[in-house]
Amino acid sequence: MNVERLAGAANRSRKVIYHFCPFSLAICLLVLSSCSGVQSALDPAGREADAVATLFWVMVAGGGLIWLCVMGAFLFAGRFKTQPLTERRAGGIIVFGGVAFPVVVLAGLIAYAGWLMPAMRPWFAGEGEGLRRIEITAEQYWWRVRYLDDKGQVLRESANEVFMPVDERVLFVLKAKDVIHSFWIPSLGGKMDAIPGRVNNLQLEATKTGSYRGVCAEFCGTAHALMAFTVEVLEKQAFEDWLRPKASSTPVSAAQTPDAGGLDAFLKNGCGACHAIDGTQAQGAIGPNLTGFGTRPTVAAGTLPNTTGHLIRFIKTPDLIKPGVNMPSYNMLLQAEVEAISLYLKGLK
Amino acid sequence: MVLRWKHVLLAFLAAVILGFGFAWSGLMSVGARSGHWAVTDWFLHWVMRNSIRTAALQTEPPPFDNPEMLKLAAGHYEQGCAFCHGSPAEERSAVSRNMLPEPPDLKEKIPEWTKAELFHIVQDGVRFTGMPAWPAPHREDEVWSMVAFLEQVPQMSVEDYRSLAGLVATGGSNAVLDCQSCHAPERLNGKSLIPSLAGQSETYLRESLFAYADGRRLSGVMQTAVTGLSKEQLASLARDYASMQRGSVANHDADPRGADIDKGRELAEKGRAADRIPACLTCHERADGNPSYPELSGQSVPYLTNQLRLFRQAHRGGTAFGHLMLPVANNLTDADIENVSAYFASKQE
């Protein structure tokens, strides 16, 4: 009878396993699918991220091995070893397994992590000199991005998109306008806080060209989760080409832009009080610089794909898309004006 | 018989039932003709005086240093108060003298109250009398002007009153109020709390009048003034004022109150991006600007500072574009407000 009951229980648990097997498989696949993509530390595309990922895999493998040994010992003690150990042997196991082994393993890990450090963060402050500098100012809830030359002059200003050359160490100069934010491009490296009144430096080197995504990694307010940016890693020449045309000060005149009516509406309603568009009267420095806005992949700092429809929505009701955003609502503009402004912005190259 | 708690309770219940019975019977007269019993009258006034005295404890009157406060209040007094309380030019009406309680002739009553007490009576009204609260909450500035005016009432001559209120004799002895009673350019000067409307943008004037009429812009004076006017009448008034020659009231006697006009100019032309203050002139006074944005040149310093303070406290409504000023004003310091107001007051178009 006992045996029957046991068999029944085994049957039931087998049924449960069959039932859940496809489900758990799906979950596993779903979880694994997040290991790659534009924003994954497990799919590294930079030297620091590489080191972090290697460290992670070494730790997962080592931790897994130790776990298997502990489970094996547990099984052995429970199933096969019927006689108790002598006190001397038990003591030996505790001293070896509980003291000596962890000390050696942890010391090894610390040494390994320490050996990786120089690849991730410079040990000495001077190491950032001579590197290309990109100044990032985090503001609620967007990123001001300025490409600096050797003398610290701004070559080009943009927002919510970072362009980087591949295989070149870049120094990110991190500032914050209002509260503490944190700058993180998981595919390229670790995060670094941006703190009001301080300047933090972070060096990143991308090793693969491609598009990545960065985020704010420190809760900064109601729209914290909607404060992202895109990262484009380009071949060196392509990056220089991107950086230079605007830097050599050949502004696009208002007449050359695709929709002059949009620019008129933009200026008439005072958008230029906060936003700048190079080559126009709009020189506001409070909100994101909109020069070349049409080429940006997203609206509202990585929140929505850059389409005129989304632009119209954002201009009319920014607070519904990003709660707490500093831009006031322009729901009172004529629909035609909002459309013209959106078309104009979308057309900016 | 011993008096027990039960008897007390029963007596109380009986009193309540009898009281309700008496009220239900309708034998209680609510007519105003017979007046209160002397004891009721004394009790009600005693309660009122105590209440107002207590309310005024924490209220510190501002300095009454601007004689133009009287003009802001006088026209409104004539329109809203004189009917019940009489004025230097007019006795109380027979209607008012048959109210219960009878609205006092203020010439005699004003000296009995302090400034702070008068403020609370005008601001909050008096319950169980005909005395209403000020039509607009959060317009303490208007109420203090009224208090300044009230303090002058007992010794005011008929001529002074008529001149302050802008009562214009039309034909016979009847004197009527109209927009010009307050807004006539020749009545305004560098210290006016009343804005100059001549030559202002028609759209701005029309939308502002609609905002007063719909309660979207709060002002005890103006909301009373536009009462009873149709949208067509308001639009036509806006047209009339917009077509007048714009005269800068403050040219001859702009009173910068010691403010730094150059700093004000810098703020108006460049803003201060570090504090998220855009340049005023990106929206205001653009040749191709939105007509919903008002002209500021030549308004008086007291009017401009007052409006900016109301914006900063988020108590200034207005046109559909009015909310754009809220975050801007919120970032202005007291000195900014004085400087930029002085700049616009002295600016020639």
Among A197, A224, A245, identify where a domain stops. Answer: A245
Contact at CB, B282 and A329, closer than 8 angstroms: no
Contact at CB, A284 and B321, closer than 8 angstroms: no
A22 falls within a domain? no
Q: What is the pLDDT of residue A83?
A: 82
**Which residues in chain B have Cβ-Cβ distances shorter than 8 Å to A289?**
none
Q: What is the pLDDT of residue A128?
A: 72
A23 falls within a domain? no
Chain A, chain B: beta-carbon pairs less than 8 Å apart:
44
Residues A67 and A204 in one domain: yes
Residues A225 and A320 in one domain: no
pLDDT tens readout for residues B43-55 = 999 999 999 999 9
d(CA A342, nearest CA chain B) in Å: 18
Q: What is the DSSP letter of A252?
A: P
Q: What is the pLDDT of residue A316?
A: 96
Residue A210: phi, psi to the nearest 5?
145, 180
Domain that holds residue A130: 36-83+121-245
Query: B210, B272, B275, B290: best mutation site toward chain A, by most A Cβ within 10 Å?
Result: B290
| B273 part of contact set with chain A, CB < 8 Å | yes
Q: Any idea which residue has 């207005």 for tokens?
A: B318
Q: What is the pLDDT of residue A253?
A: 47
- Determine the average pLDDT of the residues in B168-186: 74
Residues A201 and A136 in one domain: yes
Contact at CB, B282 and A332, closer than 8 angstroms: no
Cis peptide before B101 (omega within 30 of 0): yes
Please give the C-alpha separations between residue A275 and each of A159, A177, A269, A289, B7, in angstroms, as whole numbers: 11, 16, 12, 5, 80
Residues A294 and A342 in one domain: yes
Q: What is the pLDDT of residue A80?
A: 84
Instruction: Domains for chain B: give ranges and CATH numbers.
Output: 65-177 (1.10.760.10), 180-346 (1.10.760.10)
Contact at CB, A284 and B279, closer than 8 angstroms: yes
A47 falls within a domain? yes
Residues A235 and A156 in one domain: yes
d(CA A132, nearest CA chain B) in Å: 26
pLDDT tens readout for residues B237-281 = 999 999 998 876 555 566 777 788 999 999 999 999 999 999 999
Bridge partners of B87, per DSSP, are: B90
Residues A45 and A186 in one domain: yes
Q: What ipTM, to 2 d.p.?
A: 0.86
Residues A284 and A231 in one domain: no
- Determine the average pLDDT of the residues in B89-117: 92
Number of domains in chain A: 2
A10 falls within a domain? no
Q: What is the pLDDT of residue B9?
A: 94
Q: Kindly report the length of chain A.
A: 349
Residues A187 and A141 in one domain: yes
- What CATH number should be reported for the domain holding residue A273? 2.60.40.420
Q: What is the DSSP letter of B256?
A: -
The strand order across the sheet containing A142-148 reads A154-159, A142-148, A132-139, A169-176, A200-205
B 36-65 → A contacts, CB under 8 A: none
Contact at CB, B271 and A326, closer than 8 angstroms: no
The span from the CA of A156 to the CA of A347, in Å, is 19
Conformation bin of residue B87: beta by default, left when phi > 0, alpha when psi is -120 to 50: beta
Conformation bin of residue A196: beta by default, left when phi > 0, alpha when psi is -120 to 50: beta
Give the DSSP per-residue string, B165-221.
HT-EE-SSS-EE--HHHHH-GGG--TT-SSPP-TT--HHHHHHHHHHHHTTSS--HH
Residues 6 or more apart whose Cβ sits within 8 Å of residue B99 = B32, B84, B130
For each of chain A's 349 residues, which pLDDT tens digit applies? Answer: 455 555 555 556 556 556 666 667 777 666 666 667 888 888 999 988 988 898 899 889 989 999 999 999 889 888 887 788 889 988 998 999 889 999 999 999 889 888 877 766 766 556 677 889 999 999 999 999 999 998 889 999 999 999 999 999 999 999 999 999 999 999 999 899 999 999 999 989 999 999 999 999 999 999 999 999 999 999 999 999 998 865 444 444 444 455 568 999 999 999 999 999 999 999 999 999 999 999 999 999 999 999 999 999 999 999 999 999 999 999 999 999 999 999 999 999 8
A212 falls within a domain? yes
Residues A272 and A190 in one domain: no
**B130 neighbors B72 (Cβ within 8 angstroms):** no
Bridge partners of A183, per DSSP, are: A192, A216
Q: What is the pLDDT of residue A81?
A: 79
Residues A197 and A49 in one domain: yes
Residues A216 and A331 in one domain: no
The span from the CA of A129 to the CA of A145, in Å, is 19
Partner residue opposite A268 with nearest CB, options B278, B290, B323? B290
Bridge partners of A298, per DSSP, are: A305
Residues A186 and A68 in one domain: yes
Contact at CB, B283 and A269, closer than 8 angstroms: yes
A46 falls within a domain? yes
**B271 neighbors A282 (Cβ within 8 angstroms):** no
Q: What is the pLDDT of residue A109?
A: 87
- Determine the average pLDDT of the residues in B99-111: 91
Q: pTM for the whole thing?
A: 0.85
Q: What is the torsion angle, in degrees rounded to the nearest 10, for the CA atoms of residue A292, residue A297, residue A302 and residue A305? A: 120
pLDDT-derived band of residue B319, with 50, 70 and 90 as boundaries?
very high
A91 falls within a domain? no
Q: What is the pLDDT of residue A10?
A: 54
Among A201, A223, A245, identify where a domain stops. Answer: A245
pLDDT tens readout for residues B68-81 = 999 999 999 999 99
Among A228, A245, A262, identify where a domain stops. Answer: A245
Q: What average pLDDT is seen over chain B?
A: 91
| B271 part of contact set with chain A, CB < 8 Å | yes
A96 falls within a domain? no
Q: What is the pLDDT of residue B172?
A: 46
Contact at CB, A269 and B323, closer than 8 angstroms: no
Residue type, B341: S
